[in-house]
């Protein structure tokens, strides 16, 4: 572990690791290859996780070693504590974490336990004239950039803003040193108890965060018809979005416009009603998992992207759908 | 509305008033002796007056061995200095920064204009131009480097603020950089360092004479050719050149193996190559520009906001509307005449060795004669027909102070362009009509839609003049091969119901020679016809179609498995089987269900002729397809020209 | 219950910083103002709500900073704080843990059941101090609270914390504890003018002998005008063939889906219903 000077703490999500963790890893790997450093990835693994498979993937992004952690309980405080203990022992140059909610909390605990500062939400990593690590943070609402360089005596704790760095498998075929699972039992169990989870209200959630969306375009025809979009959204627990035309017509507000000059969404399900599928709109749909298109025009470009194409009058389809649900 | 777009940017000693720039574009306004002309000066002055931040003037020849055509500026000769000095000072009057593009085509040209052997790092034939170049000797390379410097020195003398070394588009410098075209075994070929050497030497030589002027490059961010330079390779090149010192870096794409990307048509998504600039911007502090398919200030602002680049090239966008920057600044977004990426009049005309113009903007290259001036004696004018031609006439007439009534028999304005933009990948074409419609709605033109003008209307209206823009129509198919199979015209084909298309074998006869046969063929194939074959008697289907659009269309047709038969003739028909001769071969097209004959449309001059007879005192003009069936830019040009004449 | 709220003044840039040529223009005194950290206002609001929900809450506002920091205390008083403490000291960036140590000392001396503070500051936004105080005091901490409730009969606090995408987690936390507060839909109340004006007389000033401190191992390289960092952008993989890279660009990175032609002639709503059921987005009612 000692030869790994750069640590990346990866964050779990249901299907694997978070995209933002790969962004961090790609960027750190770029620096490491210039410095000749080794990277160790740490992640909280479930006992049944296929660490080999995860290792192979992480290696292709540039990781040299993988350390699965098993922390009980796995609150951010205990995870941070376990990482800080390891860091005291191995003295890495820096620990990188994506600035997500979990990432920030873990990083703060690590920094607090190491009694060092936290370089949070960094936007740029680099190397100084003597190959020392440099990081840049934006302060004063993104107007001023401050750059720091490591003096190398202490471990730096750095979180990195998601959504900036492209992910890239720059090291296809690279192999990884899979380390033995590290189990840590916190001495003082975290007294904070998690009791439950409350899902966001789809009516108010930011469409960027919405898991389901119903989107209307010019083909909905009237504001009156647009209410059907809201009704269907209500039924499916979805949020409402719109095209620019829908926004221009005042059917949705700007914060619900999807596309190049609006937002990029990443729902599991998106039902697109009376939308032609102009590229400026569909650029915002890239991350959509499952797309249903309802459009009278069989040749509308949106149909080419859809998992289900319904060539039909959108207001009518929605009306009948609502009726079917209501009558059971 | 566009805070970042209108934030100044300082490059070395020059300050751009905003981030909108025009990248180098050949105009063919130079004289055959390689001199700057008044036309070229007027053209650029109009753009500077429109408020653009920086103009990179067209690629200029640094050496007598390079010429795209006869109409390029001979920067290798001092004779250009007076004209060039005038050009530069006119542009600078408006605060616009002006940059000279230093250019050598290497092998990516033909020798027809220079009548000297073409030159390149290695004697490898250019796959597009098909001429084998002379391999530059080391002495000749030295001479070439010196000629770049000498050309740069002239540009400095002429007063340019900056110099751009053209390392893009597969031209000489890129030919040295790329292993595909450089197979030398001396110090200019082989390793990365060696391939980079020529570029380094040229840039160093240019910087040595640049003095206080800035020096930048334009380079392809990815060669998009297997075995060629990838994005990563180019990044290494840029980092190396930047380490030597560059004042800006311009990212571009396209060369002989993927020519359409230099001039992306409407197939290409907006801003589709911005990622190349973004990925460089992450690595350097030097200002970066991005180009290609950025035609809307909102998109440009977004690119700046997302940090992908420092400057945004809107080259064709400012050809189409030189006032784009001012209009954006004044938030008159709807007034911006859009570039629809048709290439018909800019690049399309370069290919025909003619000076550039623009589909939607006839004043390009005619800034002086086509200036819109108030009419000395305002008249009452009827315009019959609301297609692109009629709308343009009405728009300009009303701007000049004439009182205009516009008749359109259909409910909506737009004319045949409504059909023209309904075929696949031509949707954007309608944006020009949409712009005209908005302009007319804001003007005091009286618009009568759903109203067919008659002799009586024209008689009763007390008009001083009538402009006919009644277009052309598709009549009976000009040929019927057999009674066994229905034959229809283009318009009917565009109106087919699904069950008339699905699972049908369709033969399209191209007698239009432009894009229409390919357009309808693609549409029918997309609508799941069983098979579609396009047949032309010429050497190529869509022979006269603009070349980039044609290349892109061929690719899409290929994917849809539409077959094209050129130099072909229907010899006979057996039942529903068509026997076609094709360069001496006989091909059988079995079981054809439908033949679409794409003819040239026939002029619709009925009303014009009536007026000529019945109201001889009324001054009449013909515009667009009703004068002679042609394309949209011709109709718009006619409309504009006639409106100035009335 | 004794609640201590940690608050501070933050630097706010006014005008249009995008247009500023350079750092000097951004930091021109005419453009720079001081304001109470918005997250701290949220924390004050939470404290006030606790006070309203039970009748034995005593609120102490603590700020560390130069003379200008006093304004934060005035606002806190205006919003209902009972006691105001001004620690006259200054900590530059990078010494958050020393600041946390000092705050831990102050709140311990003061006596407390609950420490509330903002999740982070608007200006430099490190987001370490709250957790740092909890770590030094060795007490539990809950981050990103959007709602705090006191359970009856001396039970633990029930806290709703924001966990992303608008979702919340409900946790229980025994006292004493540190809670960091997220800005939420609850707008902080407007400070009362009379209490605001009366605040100055109530402020207790602690002068701190500033220690040289354990210098954090960082060198400040430069401070300059922030350029927007390029956002992630769709980039085809170099390892793909040239044709494939181009194809991805032409479709904006979104693969066109080949699908079977709809065979059935069921109505649109039927198709929609069946599809949603089949893919688990809707429970079949039939
Ligand atoms: C620089 C720039 C940026 C842009 N940014 C965005 C952006 O961020 N987001 C965005 O959305 N747009 C954006 N646009 C606009 C975009 O180009 C399109 O104009 C817009 O997306 C079209 O919206 P639409 O699909 O609602 O309307 P239309 O394109 O008019 O399509 C309406 C569709 O509804 C169908 N239809 C009609 N009646 C019915 C019916 N009864 N039932 C079912 N279908 C019916 C029609 O067949 C048609 O396909 C931008 C444009 C530019 C130039
Ligand atoms: C499938 C297709 C694809 C095409 N693709 C392209 C292309 O890619 N590029 C390109 O440049 N061009 C293209 N075109 C051609 C282009 O549409 C025409 O060249 C252009 O529209 C001609 O304009 P115009 O104004 O002369 O006539 P039109 O557009 O035909 O307008 C004439 C108008 O006059 C009206 N009218 C006639 N008589 C009367 C009357 N008595 N009273 C009132 N109104 C009357 C008609 O209703 C019509 O609206 C295409 C055409 C088709 C069909
Ligand atoms: C008519 C025409 C001529 C061009 N000539 C040049 C040229 O001389 N040098 C050059 O670098 N690019 C040339 N280009 C490419 C343009 O600079 C620009 O990259 C291209 O038009 C795409 O950008 P746009 O979408 O903003 O127009 C030319 C383009 C056109 C349309
Ligand atoms: S001719 Fe077409 S592509 Fe060229 S500038 Fe005009 S609109 Fe754009």
Give the nearest partner residue to C233 out of B231, B268, B278, using CB atoms. B278
Please check whether residue A199 lies inside any domain of the structure: no
Closest ligand 3 atom to B58 CA: 8
What letter does residue A69 receive in the DSSP assignment?
E
Phi, psi of C106 (to 5 degrees): -65, -45
- pLDDT category at A137 given cuts 50, 70, 90 is very high
Phi, psi of A205 (to 5 degrees): -65, 145
CATH 3.20.20.70, chain B: domain bounds: 9-351
- The CATH classification number of B9-351 equals 3.20.20.70
Residue A283 in this model has a pLDDT that exceeds 80:
no
Residue C261 in this model has a pLDDT that exceeds 60:
no
Between the alpha carbon of residue C253 and those of residues A283, B246, B253, B300, B307, the distances in Å are 8, 32, 18, 20, 20
Q: What is d(CA B79, CA B84) in angstroms, rounded to the nearest whole number? A: 9
Please check whether residue A284 lies inside any domain of the structure: yes
Pocket test for ligand 1, best of A240, A278, A297 (most atoms within 8 A of CB): A278
A148 has a chain C CB within 8 A of its CB = yes
pLDDT at residue B602 in the model: 96
Q: Which residues of B546-585 are buried (b: 16+ CB within 10 A; e: fewer)?
A: bbbbbebbbebbeebebebbbebebeebeeeebebeeeee
Looking at CA atoms only, how far is residue B245 from chain C in angstroms? 20
pLDDT at residue C260 in the model: 43
Closest ligand 2 atom to B607 CA: 41
* Ligand 4 near B91 CB (within 6 A): no
Which amino acids bring their CB within 6 angstroms of ligand 2?
B 344, 384-390, 407-410, 415-417, 419-420, 423, 426, 429, 452-453, 469-471, 490, 515-516, 519, 604, 607, 624-625, 630-633, 635
- The CATH classification number of B487-598 equals 3.50.50.60
Residues in chain C closer than 8 A to A328 (CB atoms): 285
Name residue, tokens 């922030």.
C226
CATH 3.50.50.60, chain B: domain bounds: 487-598
A190 has a chain C CB within 8 A of its CB = yes
- pLDDT category at C285 given cuts 50, 70, 90 is low
Alpha helices in B70-189 (DSSP H): 81-92, 138-158, 172-177
pLDDT in tens, C40-94: 999 999 999 999 988 889 999 999 999 999 999 999 999 999 999 999 988 877 8
- Residue A289 and residue A216 share a domain: yes
- Residue A308 and residue A219 share a domain: yes
Contacts for C39 with CB less than 8 Å, ≥ 6 apart: C117, C118, C119, C120, C121, C122, C180, C181, C182, C183
Residue A173 in this model has a pLDDT that exceeds 70:
yes
Pocket test for ligand 3, best of B72, B260, B262 (most atoms within 8 A of CB): B262
Give the global pTM: 0.88
- pLDDT category at A279 given cuts 50, 70, 90 is confident
Pocket test for ligand 3, best of B22, B26, B365 (most atoms within 8 A of CB): B26
Looking at CA atoms only, how far is residue C17 from chain A in angstroms? 6
- Residue A79 and residue A222 share a domain: no
- Residue A26 and residue A67 share a domain: yes
Dihedral sign from CA coordinates of A260, A263, A264, A267: negative
Q: How many CB atoms lie within 10 A of CB A87?
A: 21
Ligand 1 geometric centre to CA of B117 (Å): 53
Which domains does chain C carry? Answer: 2-221 (3.40.50.620), 230-286 (no CATH)
What letter does residue A263 receive in the DSSP assignment?
B
**Which of the pair, C264 or B498, is modelled with greater confidence?**
B498
- Inter-residue contact B5 to B312 (CB < 8 Å): yes
pLDDT at residue C165 in the model: 83
- Residue A53 and residue A166 share a domain: yes
Q: How many CB atoms lie within 10 A of CB C54?
A: 10
Q: What is d(CA B641, CA B635) in angstroms, rounded to the nearest whole number? A: 10
Between the alpha carbon of residue C67 and those of residues A36, A244, B310, C101, the distances in Å are 49, 50, 41, 21
Instruction: Find which of B274, B307, B310, B553 to mutate to test the C interface (most C CBs within 10 Å of its CB).
Output: B307
Identify the nearest ligand to the CA of B633 by its number.
2
Residue C259 in this model has a pLDDT that exceeds 80:
no
* Ligand 3 near B356 CB (within 6 A): yes
Q: Which domain holds residue A311?
A: 212-327
Q: Whose CA is nearest to atom 13 of ligand 3?
A: B25
Pairing of strands C157-162, C168-173: antiparallel
Mean predicted confidence (pLDDT) in C263-281? 84
Dihedral (Cα; B269, B275, B276, B277), 10-degree rounding? 110
**Residue B15, class by beta-carbon neighbours within 10 Å (0-12 exposed, 13-18 middle, 19+ buried)?**
middle
pLDDT at residue C229 in the model: 86
A294 has a chain C CB within 8 A of its CB = yes
Tokens at residue B495, please?
Answer: 């109106």
Q: What is d(CA C221, CA B355) in angstroms, rounded to the nearest whole number? A: 53
C201 has a chain A CB within 8 A of its CB = no
- Residue A135 and residue A14 share a domain: yes
> CA angle, corner B227, sides to B224 and B228, nearest 5?
50
Name residue, tokens 């304004």.
C71
- Inter-residue contact B41 to B90 (CB < 8 Å): yes
Give the nearest partner residue to C230 out of B8, B222, B278, using CB atoms. B278
For chain C, counts of helices (H) and of strands (E): 8, 12
pLDDT at residue A315 in the model: 96
- Inter-residue contact C172 to C157 (CB < 8 Å): yes
Length reported for chain A: 328
pLDDT at residue B152 in the model: 98
Instruction: Find which of C169, C218, C235 to mutate to test the A interface (most A CBs within 10 Å of its CB).
Output: C218
Ligand 3 geometric centre to CA of B252 (Å): 9
Residue C246 in this model has a pLDDT that exceeds 80:
yes
Please check whether residue A222 lies inside any domain of the structure: yes
CATH architecture for residues B380-473+602-645: 3-Layer(aba) Sandwich (3.40)
- Inter-residue contact A58 to A67 (CB < 8 Å): no
- pLDDT category at C286 given cuts 50, 70, 90 is low
Tokens at residue A90, please?
Answer: 């191995």
Q: What is d(CA B271, CA A281) in angstroms, rounded to the nearest whole number? A: 13
- Residue A14 and residue A143 share a domain: yes
Tokens at residue A254, please?
Answer: 């700007």
Contacts for A237 with CB less than 8 Å, ≥ 6 apart: A202, A212
Please check whether residue A207 lies inside any domain of the structure: no
- Residue A176 and residue A90 share a domain: yes
Cα Rg of chain A, angstroms: 24
* Residues of B taking part in catalysis: 171
pLDDT at residue B110 in the model: 95
Mean predicted confidence (pLDDT) in A275-295? 87
* Ligand 1 near A218 CB (within 6 A): yes
Query: C: neighbours with 3+ CB pairs under 8 Å?
Result: A, B
Q: What is d(CA A165, CA B603) in angstroms, rounded to the nearest whole number? A: 58
Please check whether residue A198 lies inside any domain of the structure: no
Name residue, tokens 């599928």.
A277
* Ligand 1 near A313 CB (within 6 A): yes
Does an H or E element contain B313, and which?
Answer: strand B311-313
CATH 3.40.50.720, chain B: domain bounds: 380-473+602-645
Ligand 3 geometric centre to CA of B382 (Å): 39
Please check whether residue A194 lies inside any domain of the structure: no
Q: Residue by residue, what is the 3-state secondary structure of B380-435?
A: EEEEECCCHHHHHHHHHHHHCCCEEEEEECCCCCCCCHHHHCCCCCCHHHHHHHHH
Identify the nearest ligand to the CA of B429 by its number.
2
Q: What is d(CA C252, CA A278) in angstroms, rounded to the nearest whole number? A: 11
Q: What is d(CA B120, CA B123) in angstroms, rounded to the nearest whole number? A: 7
Cβ-defined contact of B298 to A261 (cutoff 8 Å): yes
Phi, psi of A223 (to 5 degrees): -60, -35
Can you list the residues of chain B whose pLDDT is less than 50? none
pLDDT in tens, C170-229: 999 999 999 999 988 778 899 999 999 999 999 999 887 766 655 667 888 999 888 888
pLDDT in tens, A32-63: 998 889 999 999 888 788 889 999 999 999 99
Comparing CA positions, the residue from C49, C47, C17 lying closest to residue C30 is C17
Please check whether residue A157 lies inside any domain of the structure: yes
CATH of residue A170's domain is 3.40.50.620
pLDDT in tens, B243-285: 999 999 999 999 999 999 999 999 998 899 999 999 999 999 9
Classify B446 as helix, strand or coil.
strand
First to last CA, chain A: 60
CATH of residue A257's domain is 3.40.50.1220
Comparing CA positions, the residue from C189, C182, C199 lying closest to residue C43 is C182
Q: What is d(CA B439, CA A145) in angstroms, rounded to the nearest whole number? A: 45
* Ligand 1 near A222 CB (within 6 A): no
| Structural domains in chain A (count) | 2
Comparing CA positions, the residue from C92, C135, C128, B285 lying closest to residue A159 is C128
What letter does residue A49 receive in the DSSP assignment?
-
């Amino acid at each position: 572990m000692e030869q790994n000077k750069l640590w990346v703490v990866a964050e779990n999500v249901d299907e694997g690791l978070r995209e933002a963790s790969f962004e961090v890893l790609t960027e750190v790997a770029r620096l490491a290859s210039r410095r000749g450093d080794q990277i160790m990835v740490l992640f909280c693994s479930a006992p049944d996780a296929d660490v080999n498979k995860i290792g192979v993937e992480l290696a292709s992004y540039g990781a040299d070693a993988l350390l699965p952690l098993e922390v009980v309980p796995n609150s951010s405080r205990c995870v941070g504590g376990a990482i800080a203990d390891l860091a005291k022992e191995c003295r890495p140059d820096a620990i990188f974490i994506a600035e997500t909610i979990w990432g920030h909390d873990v990083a703060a605990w690590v920094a607090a336990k190491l009694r060092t500062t936290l370089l949070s939400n960094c936007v740029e990593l680099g190397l100084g004239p003597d190959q020392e690590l440099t990081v840049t943070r934006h302060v004063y609402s993104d107007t001023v950039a401050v750059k720091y360089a490591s003096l190398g005596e202490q471990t730096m704790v750095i979180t990195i803003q998601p959504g900036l760095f492209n992910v890239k498998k720059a090291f296809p075929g690279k192999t990884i040193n899979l380390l033995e699972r590290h189990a840590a039992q916190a001495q003082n169990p975290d007294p904070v108890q998690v009791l439950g989870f409350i899902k966001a209200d789809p009516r108010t959630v930011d469409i960027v965060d919405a898991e389901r969306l119903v989107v209307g375009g010019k083909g909905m025809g009237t504001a009156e018809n647009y209410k059907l979009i809201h009704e269907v959204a209500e039924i499916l627990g979805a949020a409402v979005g719109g095209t620019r035309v829908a926004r221009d017509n005042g059917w949705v507000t700007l914060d619900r416009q999807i596309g190049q000059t609006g937002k990029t969404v990443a729902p599991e399900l998106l039902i697109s009603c009376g939308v032609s599928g102009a590229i400026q709109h569909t650029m915002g749909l890239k991350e959509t998992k499952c797309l249903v298109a309802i459009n009278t025009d069989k040749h509308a470009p949106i149909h080419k992207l859809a998992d289900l194409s319904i060539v039909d009058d959108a207001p009518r389809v929605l009306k009948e759908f609502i009726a079917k649900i209501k009558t059971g | 509305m566009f805070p970042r777009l209108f934030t100044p940017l300082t490059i070395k000693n020059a300050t751009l008033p905003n981030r909108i720039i025009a990248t180098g574009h050949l105009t063919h306004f130079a004289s055959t002796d390689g001199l700057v002309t008044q036309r070229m000066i007027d053209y650029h002055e109009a753009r500077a007056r429109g408020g653009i931040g920086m103009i990179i003037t067209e690629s200029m020849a640094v050496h007598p061995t390079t010429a795209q055509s006869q109409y390029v500026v001979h920067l290798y000769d001092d004779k250009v200095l007076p004209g060039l000095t005038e050009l530069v000072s006119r542009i600078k009057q408006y605060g616009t920064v002006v940059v000279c593009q230093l250019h050598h085509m290497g092998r990516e040209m033909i020798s027809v204009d220079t009548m000297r052997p073409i030159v390149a790092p290695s004697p490898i034939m250019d796959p597009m131009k098909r001429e084998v170049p002379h391999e530059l000797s080391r002495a000749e390379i030295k001479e070439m480097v010196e000629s770049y410097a000498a050309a740069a020195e002239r540009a400095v003398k002429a007063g340019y603020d900056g110099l751009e070394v053209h390392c893009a588009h597969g031209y000489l410098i890129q030919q040295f950089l790329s292993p595909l075209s450089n197979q030398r075994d001396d110090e200019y070929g082989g390793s990365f360092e060696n391939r980079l050497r020529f570029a380094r030497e040229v840039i160093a030589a240019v910087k040595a004479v640049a003095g206080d002027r800035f020096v930048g490059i334009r380079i392809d961010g990815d060669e998009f050719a297997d075995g060629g330079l990838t994005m990563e390779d180019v990044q290494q090149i840029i980092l190396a050149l930047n380490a030597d010192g560059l004042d800006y870096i311009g990212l571009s794409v396209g060369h002989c193996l993927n020519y359409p990307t230099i001039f992306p048509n409407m197939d290409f998504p907006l801003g589709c190559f911005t990622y190349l600039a973004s990925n460089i911007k992450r690595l350097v502090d030097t200002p970066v520009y991005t180009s290609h398919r950025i035609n809307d200030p909102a998109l440009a602002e977004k690119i700046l906001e997302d940090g992908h680049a420092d400057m945004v090239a809107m080259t064709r966008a400012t050809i189409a509307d030189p006032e784009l920057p001012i209009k954006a600044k004044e938030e008159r977004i709807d007034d911006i005449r859009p570039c629809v990426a048709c290439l018909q009049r800019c690049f399309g005309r370069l290919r025909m060795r003619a000076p550039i113009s623009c589909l939607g903007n006839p004043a390009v290259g005619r800034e002086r004669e086509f200036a819109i001036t108030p009419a000395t004696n305002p008249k009452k004018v009827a315009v019959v027909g609301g297609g692109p031609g009629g709308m343009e006439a009405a728009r300009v007439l009303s701007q000049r102070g004439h009182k205009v009534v516009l008749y359109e028999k259909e409910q909506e304005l737009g004319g045949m362009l409504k059909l023209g933009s309904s075929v696949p990948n031509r949707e954007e074409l309608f944006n020009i009509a949409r712009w005209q419609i908005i302009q007319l709605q804001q003007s005091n033109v009286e618009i009568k839609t759903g109203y067919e003008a008659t002799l009586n209307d024209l008689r009763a209206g007390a008009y001083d003049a009538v402009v006919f823009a009644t277009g052309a129509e598709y009549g009976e198919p000009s040929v019927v091969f057999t009674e066994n199979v229905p034959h229809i015209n283009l318009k009917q084909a565009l109106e087919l119901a699904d069950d008339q298309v699905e699972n049908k074998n369709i033969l399209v006869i191209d007698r239009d020679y432009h894009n229409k046969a390919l357009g309808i063929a693609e549409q029918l194939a997309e609508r799941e016809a069983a098979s579609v074959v396009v047949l032309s008697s010429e050497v190529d289907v869509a022979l006269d179609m603009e070349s980039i659009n044609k290349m892109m269309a061929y690719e899409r047709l290929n994917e849809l498995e539409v077959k094209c038969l050129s130099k072909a003739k229907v010899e006979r028909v057996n039942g529903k089987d068509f026997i076609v001769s094709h360069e001496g071969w006989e091909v059988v097209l079995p079981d054809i269900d439908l033949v679409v004959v794409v003819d040239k449309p026939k002029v619709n001059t009925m009303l014009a002729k009536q007026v000529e007879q019945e109201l001889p005192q009324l001054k009449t003009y013909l515009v667009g397809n009703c004068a002679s069936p042609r394309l949209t830019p011709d109709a718009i040009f006619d409309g504009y020209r006639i409106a100035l004449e009335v | 219950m004794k609640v201590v709220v940690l608050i501070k003044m933050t630097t706010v840039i006014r005008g249009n910083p995008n247009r500023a040529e350079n750092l000097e223009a951004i930091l021109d005194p005419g453009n720079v103002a001081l304001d109470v950290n918005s997250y701290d206002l949220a924390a004050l609001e939470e404290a006030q709500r606790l006070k309203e929900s039970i009748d034995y809450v005593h609120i102490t506002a603590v700020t560390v900073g130069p003379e200008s920091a006093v304004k934060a205390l005035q606002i806190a008083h205006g919003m209902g704080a009972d006691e105001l403490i001004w620690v006259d000291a200054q900590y530059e960036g990078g010494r958050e843990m020393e600041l946390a140590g000092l705050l831990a000392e102050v709140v311990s001396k003061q006596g407390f059941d609950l420490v509330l503070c903002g999740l982070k500051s608007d200006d430099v936004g490190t987001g370490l101090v709250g957790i740092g105080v909890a770590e030094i005091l060795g007490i539990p901490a809950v981050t990103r609270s959007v709602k705090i409730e006191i359970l009856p009969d001396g039970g633990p606090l029930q806290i709703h914390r924001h966990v992303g995408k608008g979702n919340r987690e409900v946790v229980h936390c025994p006292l004493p504890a540190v809670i960091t507060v997220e800005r939420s839909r609850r707008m902080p109340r407007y400070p009362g003018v009379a209490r605001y004006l009366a605040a100055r007389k109530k402020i207790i000033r602690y002068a701190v002998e500033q220690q040289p401190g354990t210098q954090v191992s960082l060198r400040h390289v430069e401070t300059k005008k922030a350029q927007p960092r390029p956002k992630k952008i769709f980039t085809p993989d170099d390892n793909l063939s040239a044709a494939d890279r181009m194809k991805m660009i032409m479709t904006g990175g979104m693969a066109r889906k080949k699908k079977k032609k709809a065979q059935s002639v069921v109505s649109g709503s039927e198709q929609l219903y069946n599809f949603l059921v089949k893919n688990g987005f809707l429970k079949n009612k039939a």
